[in-house]
């Protein structure tokens, strides 16, 4: 089975989670664990450029992280989603809930 990897790094004032692989009901736990650890505590960017597929299990994790960030007054950004990840986000019907940056270099200061 192809799993996911979630690498955590600091970039300026942002904590960046770089996700690689497919996000589904079998794999989303690692993403959930790491987003819950950081969401609402720091400004968090989730790099989805390496995501090969994403079901609603992954979307739900991101939405929960966005809500935690908004509640705590922290920033949350999705970075460079792959084509499949972008379509998955758009298919929810409320992609405007997902602040997006085109690349890590273009994260707000």
Residues forming the site for another protein (CB under 8 A): 1-2, 22, 24-27, 52-57, 59-60, 63-64, 83-84, 87-88, 90-93
Nearest distance, CB of residue 27 and another protein, angstroms: 8
Nearest distance, CB of residue 3 and another protein, angstroms: 9
Kind of pairing between the strands at 5-11 and 100-101: unpaired
Half-sphere exposure of 89 (CA within 13 A, CB side): 21
Which residue, 10, 12, 33, 30, is CA-closest to 20?
30
Q: Which residue's CB is nearer to another protein, number 42 or number 63? A: 63
Nearest distance, CB of residue 86 and another protein, angstroms: 8
Nearest distance, CB of residue 83 and another protein, angstroms: 5
Neighbours of 31 (CB within 10 A): 24
The alpha helices in 1-109, defined as continuous H runs, are 28-38, 56-72, 83-91
Q: Which residue's CB is nearer to another protein, number 10 or number 83? A: 83
């Amino acid at each position: 089975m192809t799993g996911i990897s979630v690498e955590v790094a600091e970039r300026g004032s942002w904590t960046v989670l770089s996700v690689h692989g497919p996000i589904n009901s079998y794999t989303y736990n690692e993403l959930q664990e790491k987003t819950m650890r950081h969401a609402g505590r720091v400004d968090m960017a989730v790099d989805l450029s390496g995501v090969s597929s994403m079901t609603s299990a992954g979307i739900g994790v991101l939405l929960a992280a966005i809500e935690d960030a908004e509640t705590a007054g922290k920033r949350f950004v999705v970075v460079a989603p792959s084509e499949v990840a972008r379509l998955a986000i758009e298919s929810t019907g409320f992609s405007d809930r997902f602040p997006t940056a085109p690349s890590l270099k273009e994260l707000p200061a």
